Chains A and B, each alone.
Chain A
Amino acid sequence: EPEVTQTPSHQVTQMGQEVILRCVPISNHLYFYWYRQILGQKVEFLVSFYNNEISEKSEIFDDQFSVERPDGSNFTLKIRSTKLEDSAMYFCASQDRAGNTIYFGEGSWLTVV
């Protein structure tokens, strides 16, 4: 069964460093998402992406965050200057053409020290 894959599975970074989280959505999907989950808290929406542009973003997704689909297969989330409070599990998701179902990857665990 096709799946969303994410790399790295776990990354430790120093505060202030740039981080890029990578995702390979399911082939032929058109809509892409990033969510995050701080330990012990809810899964929170960050951003949705369609037709090579951001279609919606949350308050969390400030100027430190950016997304890109550089080559038609990868979908990346960049955090320009990480803060301690960015420590979380980041989930990538993609949505099928029919728009019915969003499928999530297994997540990238980011620890900022």
Chain B
Amino acid sequence: DAKTTQPPSMDCAEGRAANLPCNHSTISGNEYVYWYRQIHSQGPQYIIHGLKNNETNEMASLIITEDRKSSTLILPHATLRDTAVYYCIVRVGRGAGGTSYGKLTFGQGTILTVHP
């Protein structure tokens, strides 16, 4: 899987948008960008994923650059409960056989601290 680069830590004020960047300059055409977070050693929690289009769900928005070499996760109104380690992961998508989804490979992630 392609490697990702994330800042080790970021701060955000409660109620403001948190914008978490991720570089994945060696991403391949069949690789998706996934975001997970881990709150205090709990199980990683799925947030969002995308291939090339921007995506939005109830938790966050994902903005992927046109060349797909970087992306940004946006938490529109951060709360104290959003304090966590955020992982940007590039993962191989479905292949010809339909069963070749790759595993998730976690890096160090970004420690996001939301403060009052």
Contacts and interface: CB of A to CB of B under 8 A. Distances in A.
Interface stretch (B2-10, B17-25, B61-69, B96-104): B96-104
Interface residues of B, number: 20
A93 B101 CA distance: 14
A43 interface: yes
Contacts of A43: 38, 44, 87, 106
A80 B105 CA distance: 25
A101 B43 contact: no
Contacts of A31: 101
Looking at chain A, what size class is its interface with the partner chain?
A: 20 to 34
Contact of A107 (B43, B49, B105): B43
Nearest to A92: B43
Nearest to B38: A43
Contacts of A103: 46
Contact of A106 (B42, B87, B104): B42
Contacts, number: 46
A105 B41 CA distance: 11
Given A43-B38, A45-B103, A91 B94 contact: no
Given A99-B94, A104-B43, A106-B42, A48 B106 contact: no
Interface of B (DSSP majority class): loop
Contacts of B46: 101-104
A87 interface: no
29 contacts: A4-B43, A33-B103, A37-B41, A42-B106, A42-B107, A42-B108, A43-B106, A44-B106, A45-B103, A45-B105, A55-B99, A56-B103, A89-B41, A93-B43, A95-B101, A99-B93, A99-B99, A99-B101, A100-B49, A101-B46, A101-B49, A102-B104, A104-B43, A104-B44, A104-B45, A105-B43, A106-B42, A107-B42, A107-B43
A54 to B, nearest CB: 12
A31 B104 CA distance: 13
Contacts of A89: 41
Contacts of A101: 46, 49
Interface in B32-82: 38, 41-46, 49
